[in-house]
Amino acid sequence: MATVHVSFDQTAYDVKINNTAHTRIGSEILAVWPLRKIALLTDSHVGPLYLTKTQQQLEAAGFDVLPLQVPAGEQSKSLTVAGDLIAKMAKAGFTRGDGLIALGGGVVGDLGGVVASLYMRGIGFIQIATSLTAQVDSSVGGKTAVNLGDTKNIAGTFYQPDLVLVDSTYLDTLTDRDLVEGYGEVVKTSALDSQEFFDFTGTIKSIHDIRVHAQELSQRAIAYKAKIVMRDEKEAGQRQYLNFGHTIGHAIELLAHGELRHGEAVAIGMIAMTERMARDGVSSDDLTTALKARLEAVGLPTSSNLIGTSEFFDHLINDKKNRGGILNLVALKKIGNPVIVQKSMADMPTFIK
Ligand SMILES: NC(=O)c1ccc[n+]([C@@H]2O[C@H](COP(=O)([O-])OP(=O)(O)OC[C@H]3O[C@@H](n4cnc5c(N)ncnc54)[C@H](O)[C@@H]3O)[C@@H](O)[C@H]2O)c1
Ligand SMILES: O=C(O)C(=O)C[C@@H](O)[C@H](O)[C@H](O)COP(=O)(O)O
Ligand SMILES: [Zn+2]
């Protein structure tokens, strides 16, 4: 069991990483929240597996629980769904002293964070991370967001949770594809962090290996992410590094209309970026090969013909690292050494070619 403490000027919380939290949800939540109403948000895949057990534990501890379930999948990250959840909480009489727990993957976490941060201008928020993406990345750091039309994460807030529970037991029911998607973010983090972490992902040769080492992967990835977000909560500088692979990744994730998962698109984005940065002399030549080997070992995609289409360039404008037509692209000079490279939107077609 490991605990990563995340602290900011105004708030602090623990990320508890173990394989037992699912058996003592009541006491874990009671340790950070006095008794209150809880909106327990989940999705249509996680709900049938874990909602009742979680609700029972919370009720046994004395909490008053409103279960809320949304359809599984990226399309639930919308303002319409968020509005509907807020209306249900208002109808149930939630006040500012109450809270929301997101029980699920990155979709439920991002959506739940938006709802918690907007409801009466902010109520308590806790994440119980059930997918690998959530356990290695999305549950920590306070980025919440929904999509609007075909623009990814365009409306959101920075809103830190009060507690994050990362219990690898939940991964037993996660499909291989959903697990592997989360591993794309692990490879990203290992490359940003250090040669030591990157060497460790080099030992992961199969989906089985991801499952065996899930807890250690979470510990290492969360430790790095926590260090970065504590230095730069609102992404004014170093936090942009966590977006490695995402400028290209988010554009093709949207263009694929549900055919590509987030972590798959990020895997393609990292390779596209590193190849082009090697051509520009920024990245070292062997970096693309090393990244590709890790991603392809578990079946992640590393190329896409969606890159470079006119719709692709249209999407780049909404990247949050765009400042007045100048894109701040994350590149790796070498492992453990990310840098920001600026390119104007006008230069992107030549760069991407
Ligand atoms: N806020 C952040 O910092 C951050 C970081 C990374 C990704 N994200 C966002 O997270 C989302 C991707 O996250 P994701 O991969 O978790 O997607 P997801 O939440 O859609 O989960 C993937 C699938 O796995 C299912 N699932 C989750 N846990 C399960 C379990 N224990 N057993 C069985 N099924 C389970 C879900 O129902 C879903 O069908 C994207 O929207 C992405 O933009 C946000
Ligand atoms: O926490 C961060 O900062 C990240 O960038 C983590 C990313 O993996 C995540 O996908 C994030 O939601 C992307 O954010 P966005 O600002 O590009 O929408
Ligand atoms: Zn991501």
pLDDT digits (tens, 9 = 90+) for 166-208: 999 999 999 999 999 999 999 999 999 999 999 999 999 999 9
pLDDT of residue 94: 98
What predicted TM-score, i.e. pTM, was given to this entire model? 0.98
pLDDT of residue 4: 98
CATH homologous superfamily, domain 180-352: Dehydroquinate synthase-like - alpha domain (1.20.1090.10)
Name the E strands within the chain. 2-7, 12-18, 37-43, 64-70, 99-104, 124-129, 143-148, 151-158, 163-167, 322-323, 326-334, 337-344
The confidence band for 353, taking pLDDT boundaries of 50, 70 and 90, is confident
Third-level CATH fold of 2-173: Rossmann fold (3.40.50)
**Average pLDDT over the chain, rounded to whole?**
97
To the question of whether residue 44 is assigned a binding role by annotation, the answer is: no
For 304-351, what is each residue's pLDDT tens digit? Answer: 999 999 999 999 989 999 999 999 999 999 999 999 999 999 999 999
ipTM exceeding 0.95?
A: yes
Q: Is the pLDDT of residue 150 over 90?
A: no
CA–CA separation, 74 and 78 (whole Å): 9
Higher pLDDT, 19 or 285: 19
Question: CA nearest 336: which of 183, 196, 140?
Answer: 196
Query: Which secondary-structure segment (H or E) carries 80?
Result: helix 79-91
pLDDT of residue 133: 98
CA–CA separation, 30 and 111 (whole Å): 23
Centre of ligand 1 from the C-alpha of residue 106, in Å: 4
Ligand 2 contacts CB of residue 141 (under 6 A): yes
Ligand 2 contacts CB of residue 181 (under 6 A): no
To the question of whether residue 257 is assigned a binding role by annotation, the answer is: no
The confidence band for 149, taking pLDDT boundaries of 50, 70 and 90, is confident
Ligand 2 contacts CB of residue 137 (under 6 A): yes
Of the ligands numbered here, which is closest to the C-alpha atom of 269?
Answer: 3
Domain ranges of the chain: 2-173, 180-352
pLDDT of residue 188: 98
To the question of whether residue 136 is assigned a binding role by annotation, the answer is: no
Regarding beta strands 37-43 and 12-18, do their DSSP bridges make them parallel or antiparallel, or are they unpaired? Answer: unpaired
Q: Is the pLDDT of residue 1 over 90?
A: no
CA–CA separation, 40 and 294 (whole Å): 36
The confidence band for 285, taking pLDDT boundaries of 50, 70 and 90, is confident
Mutate which of 127, 143, 264 for ligand 2 pocket (most atoms within 8 A of beta carbon)? 143
CA–CA separation, 232 and 234 (whole Å): 6
